[in-house]
A and B are shown apart, each in its own frame.
Chain A
């Protein structure tokens, strides 16, 4: 977790936190930094700030389907403006209109009161509107400084002035309060959070007055989120307007100044955060209260037979993993980023396999050495990175949904394959047809295809790694219901999530990982604090064992 000053005093962190030790000194940013900020307009000091940017009556259709119906939005200098809504509500489209990726069919965009048209992302960037997308626009093989100044490398006597590039990057990082990022480090060696910092620094270095962020915390956890919060607040202090798209209500209430809610491509409301409550917000987004969010647990039903057992599992990242998953139960797996959550999922599935320990599926000893063996043994893994690992994006829905069957279980493919369309429709997949290419589906629908692919194998154990990442509130609920049904049908489910509310809401019991080991087990209904205590290494190992 290189960038952030670690907030928990975990024994696993090598160094003491440097938090208050070196207050960042704006004067020390150097001459270049000051000259850069001198022509950046400061936030108006009036009590009723004039909007920096105003979008009115934005309309946009794709292939005859109207995605935005006359949406309006205004951004003030120095505010964090949360944009929420289900997937398909039009958030991404609105963001992309602002970024210059999509051209609106109708409507006006005014910047500082003057109408603008962005035909291309570059035009938007030059006007001071930068966007941090979920897929980073960074070159992994180049350094932080080279990425920040990409396309605008400073020159001296015709040659690129690498020294100044490094110094300016250092100064920018200092201004933003990021202390542990080396401008010379290669981006490929950075964590996701650090890469996000680089993206934001890049935007700031382009004198961005408006920065929109698409689910910036989707791939972060724990202290990394804190880092992002601080960065966003720092941007706000600098008079930047931040448009913040997120599915996490907690963040919106901690960070946001105003909230705009979209539903079905229409503007529902723009309100001050101070005057809103989470319940109210969810109702605006989905039209139902949050209490009905998670499906009921199987009331008092005794869990079935043990379907997965691991004893003393370990490899380079994991150690001493003992676990038992029973049919009919959902076991939550919580832990901070880097605690080994994904590594455990992958080890079970034969990817970063266990080098020690023993494992049984339905009583049969197996220690999968490849995903193929894992599938044969009855395991399924819905992986964290849907696009890279879960789907062949340019292949049709049906081919994706049958992929595992066709590849690994051809002997029984006939019967099971016939069930695939049925499974897809039971998941309420919304697609033009089974021959539509997966890349044209929304995130939630893509995830349904991934689910269908694994359900088709009729697994004994289903491992879900961040199944709701990038999936909207409404589709989440459907997914949760389906996962509960799956458990009720006798499958053992391991649910891995960096969203604590998800683990707490879904799981029948919770395992907490810390530094590659299972730090403890908690029953359903455990307190958030208890989980965090284990996850940060504050509580003793094996609390409830």
Chain B
């Protein structure tokens, strides 16, 4: 008993009685499921393209997929953090537009002002996030309304102040948007770097642990000594900064700042990607690895449908179906735990080994039914 520590490497030892009494009934995690789905979609897409004589994995198509995913990727990574905290951010689209404008107008075509432009754009984004976080925590306004409100305020500013594109991004900064290493665009590499940083944040820092706690049960978190408001505010700031990064990428691609990108639907699409990636909309469970897969799935679909030149309507239908199906599947895999308790499968006595008390999960399921 004493040396059961998991710190020790696994020992191939004769039966530990506990092991039999404690069957690890872990099905695939939602992250594994979403990567499996990504694989299937890639294969199906590749086959469809091959039938038309195309190649999904040609450099052009790969670059297209990855470029698509980097922009949404930044936004969705940030969105994951707030959703994990049982909040959400509907202002991200406006933050993308605002930060692209701030960056472009600050840089004003001068390569020397690139760092200043980046700093200004991210600082403005962080301020919006701070405002969101403060309104959500201190004024106790529901995040849906709070971020919708800040988004509308930004929109009003953008609409009156910027009728068209503004500012100019120096060529040196456009490297961020257009250059690539092999078939990997720099922007995608940066996005993946941010994703890794985010995963590290969630899995290896107290802040990350506390985000799961705040999203899982704010009261439990508070009673455990976690500064819940602070955690939530930081999540909102990081979310907005991530959207600010997307704005920078946009500015470098367009060569200028654009107010109208807020209409591109990043807010809801990022939430869709997060949920597709297996994060609970109610917070407390999930992660960035899944979100990246969610983003990639959406990007692959876009590329495949583009190449096949199919009516965009079908693309949107399929996206909707996939998102709903994914969430339904996650809900089912929750339910699947119940199956392990089956004692009387059809008729007569079945497997009797499951003589154990109902788990909390099972009880919750019963409540839900």
- Interface set of A (CB-CB < 8 Å, partner B): 1-2, 10-16, 18, 21-22, 24-25, 27-30, 121-122, 125, 137-142, 146, 150-153, 155, 158-160, 162-164, 166-167, 170-171, 174, 179-180, 182-185, 187-193, 195, 224, 314-319, 337-338, 342, 346, 351-352, 356, 385, 388-389, 515-516
Complex alpha-carbon distance, A185 and B357, angstroms: 16
Chain B residues near A142: list those with CB within 8 A: 212-213, 216, 284
Interface size on B (CB < 8 Å)?
60
List the 6 closest pairs (A to B, CB-CB), nearest first. Answer: A28-B2, A151-B224, A12-B355, A191-B357, A139-B216, A141-B285
Given known A139-B216, A152-B225, A174-B2, contact A316–B21 (CB-CB < 8 A): no
Q: Is the beta-carbon distance between A319 and B7 smaller than 8 angstroms?
A: no
- Interface set of B (CB-CB < 8 Å, partner A): 1-7, 17-18, 20-22, 24-25, 200, 203-206, 208-210, 212-213, 216-217, 219-221, 223-226, 280, 284-285, 337-338, 341-345, 347-349, 352-353, 355-361, 363-364, 366-367, 369
Closest to A351 in B: B369
Choose one: A121, A158, A183; the contact of B6 (CB below 8 Å). Answer: A183
Q: Is the beta-carbon distance between A516 and B6 smaller than 8 angstroms?
A: no
Chain A residues near B361: list those with CB within 8 A: 140, 188-189
CB distance from A337 to the nearest CB of B (A): 5
Given known A29-B2, A189-B361, A389-B367, contact A139–B7 (CB-CB < 8 A): no
Given known A141-B212, A356-B347, A516-B344, contact A179–B18 (CB-CB < 8 A): yes
CB distance from A291 to the nearest CB of B (A): 34
Chain A residues near B344: list those with CB within 8 A: 314-319, 516
Q: Is the beta-carbon distance between A122 and B225 smaller than 8 angstroms?
A: yes
Q: Is the beta-carbon distance between B357 and A1 smaller than 8 angstroms?
A: yes
Closest to B344 in A: A319
Choose one: A16, A170, A337, A351; the contact of B17 (CB below 8 Å). Answer: A16
Chain B residues near A342: list those with CB within 8 A: 358
Chain A residues near B221: list those with CB within 8 A: 139, 150-151
Choose one: A12, A28, A167; the contact of B7 (CB below 8 Å). Answer: A167
Q: Is the beta-carbon distance between B369 and A14 smaller than 8 angstroms?
A: no
| New A-B pairs, 17, CB < 8 Å, besides A2-B356, A318-B344 | A14-B21, A14-B355, A137-B219, A137-B220, A150-B221, A150-B224, A151-B226, A174-B2, A183-B6, A185-B24, A191-B356, A191-B360, A192-B357, A192-B360, A316-B345, A319-B348, A516-B343
Chain B residues near A139: list those with CB within 8 A: 212-213, 216-217, 220-221, 284
Given known A316-B345, A515-B343, contact A190–B213 (CB-CB < 8 A): no
Given known A190-B359, A338-B356, contact A141–B223 (CB-CB < 8 A): no
Complex alpha-carbon distance, A318 and B357, angstroms: 14
Q: Is the beta-carbon distance between B357 and A224 smaller than 8 angstroms?
A: yes
Q: Is the beta-carbon distance between B359 and A184 smaller than 8 angstroms?
A: no
Q: Is the beta-carbon distance between A160 and B21 smaller than 8 angstroms?
A: no
Given known A151-B221, A316-B344, A515-B343, contact A18–B17 (CB-CB < 8 A): yes
Closest to B340 in A: A189
Choose one: A22, A317, A388; the contact of B367 (CB below 8 Å). Answer: A388
Given known A2-B21, A142-B212, A170-B6, contact A160–B206 (CB-CB < 8 A): yes
Q: List 21 A-B contacts (CB under 8 A).
A: A14-B352, A14-B353, A15-B17, A28-B2, A122-B223, A138-B220, A139-B213, A139-B220, A140-B284, A141-B284, A150-B209, A160-B206, A160-B209, A180-B22, A187-B360, A189-B25, A189-B360, A224-B357, A316-B343, A316-B345, A389-B367
Given known A125-B225, A159-B205, contact A140–B21 (CB-CB < 8 A): no
Given known A174-B4, A180-B18, A317-B344, contact A338–B355 (CB-CB < 8 A): yes
Given known A159-B205, A314-B347, contact A352–B1 (CB-CB < 8 A): no
Q: Is the beta-carbon distance between B360 and A190 smaller than 8 angstroms?
A: yes
Q: Is the beta-carbon distance between A2 and B22 smaller than 8 angstroms?
A: yes
Complex alpha-carbon distance, A516 and B219, angstroms: 37
CB distance from A80 to the nearest CB of B (A): 24
Given known A139-B220, A182-B22, A189-B337, contact A28–B358 (CB-CB < 8 A): no
CB distance from A30 to the nearest CB of B (A): 7
CB distance from A174 to the nearest CB of B (A): 6
Q: Is the beta-carbon distance between B223 and A121 smaller than 8 angstroms?
A: yes
Closest to B349 in A: A319
Complex alpha-carbon distance, A150 and B347, angstroms: 45
Complex alpha-carbon distance, A338 and B363, angstroms: 12
Complex alpha-carbon distance, A141 and B282, angstroms: 12
Chain A residues near B341: list those with CB within 8 A: 316-317
Which of B1, B212, B337, B342 has most chain A Cβ within 10 Å? B1
Closest to B224 in A: A151
CB distance from A207 to the nearest CB of B (A): 14
Chain B residues near A190: list those with CB within 8 A: 359-360
Closest to A131 in B: B223
Chain B residues near A138: list those with CB within 8 A: 217, 220
Complex alpha-carbon distance, A141 and B7, angstroms: 22
Complex alpha-carbon distance, A378 and B357, angstroms: 30
Chain B residues near A30: list those with CB within 8 A: 5
CB distance from B227 to the nearest CB of A (A): 9
Given known A15-B17, A314-B347, contact A195–B360 (CB-CB < 8 A): yes
Given known A319-B344, A338-B358, A515-B343, contact A25–B224 (CB-CB < 8 A): no
Given known A22-B1, A140-B216, A193-B357, contact A15–B20 (CB-CB < 8 A): yes
Q: Is the beta-carbon distance between A166 and B7 smaller than 8 angstroms?
A: yes
Complex alpha-carbon distance, A498 and B7, angstroms: 40
Chain A residues near B345: list those with CB within 8 A: 316
Complex alpha-carbon distance, A9 and B369, angstroms: 34
Chain A residues near B2: list those with CB within 8 A: 24-25, 27-29, 174
Chain B residues near A158: list those with CB within 8 A: 205
Given known A146-B209, A159-B204, A179-B18, contact A352–B369 (CB-CB < 8 A): yes
CB distance from A96 to the nearest CB of B (A): 12
Chain B residues near A155: list those with CB within 8 A: 206
Q: Is the beta-carbon distance between B343 and A317 smaller than 8 angstroms?
A: yes
CB distance from B19 to the nearest CB of A (A): 9
Complex alpha-carbon distance, A189 and B7, angstroms: 23
Which of B21, B212, B342 has most chain A Cβ within 10 Å? B21
Chain A residues near B225: list those with CB within 8 A: 122, 125, 151-152
Complex alpha-carbon distance, A1 and B210, angstroms: 30
Given known A137-B223, A160-B204, A515-B343, contact A151–B355 (CB-CB < 8 A): no
Complex alpha-carbon distance, A104 and B343, angstroms: 51
Q: Is the beta-carbon distance between A18 and B18 smaller than 8 angstroms?
A: yes
Complex alpha-carbon distance, A507 and B153, angstroms: 67
Q: Is the beta-carbon distance between B213 and A151 smaller than 8 angstroms?
A: yes
Chain A residues near B25: list those with CB within 8 A: 189
Q: Is the beta-carbon distance between A150 and B6 smaller than 8 angstroms?
A: no
Closest to B25 in A: A189
Complex alpha-carbon distance, A131 and B367, angstroms: 27
CB distance from A76 to the nearest CB of B (A): 27
Chain B residues near A351: list those with CB within 8 A: 366, 369
Q: Is the beta-carbon distance between B343 and A163 smaller than 8 angstroms?
A: no
Q: Is the beta-carbon distance between B352 and A191 smaller than 8 angstroms?
A: no
CB distance from A100 to the nearest CB of B (A): 10
Chain A residues near B216: list those with CB within 8 A: 139-142
Q: Is the beta-carbon distance between B356 and A188 smaller than 8 angstroms?
A: no
Complex alpha-carbon distance, A162 and B216, angstroms: 19
Chain B residues near A14: list those with CB within 8 A: 20-21, 352-353, 355
